[in-house]
Amino acid sequence: MTAVLTVRAGGSVAGSCGKSCYDAEYKTCRCVCAGENHGVGFEQAVRNAQAMAEEWVLRARADGWAIDTFELGLPVVQHALF
């Protein structure tokens, strides 16, 4: 899966936002993007992650997610290069 955002707690992956979200065909979203990327497609998910990753992490922490760190996926980081 190509994650646009991965969050970690205690060195382990606590959650992510990836293909199952941005290419979703169903209405339920349970990932760290809180529905912002749900069904929007890869290109829009990349733009959303670039613009809102820190906000999503703060929101997830406020909702009780024990997040130590987060990282943007390689496609998000490299997207501006192509």
| Greatest Cα-to-Cα distance within the chain, rounded to the nearest angstrom | 36
User: For 23-77, what is each residue's pLDDT tens digit?
Assistant: 998 888 788 888 889 999 998 998 888 888 888 888 878 888 888 888 888 767 6
pTM: 0.75
81 occurs within a structural domain: no
Q: Is residue 19 part of a domain?
A: yes
Q: Do 77 and 6 form a contact (C-beta atoms < 8 A)?
A: no
- Residue-number span of the structural domain to which 39 is assigned: 5-73
Residue 82 belongs to a domain? no
The answer to the question of residue 78 being in a domain is no
Alpha carbons 80 and 39: distance in angstroms, whole number? 22
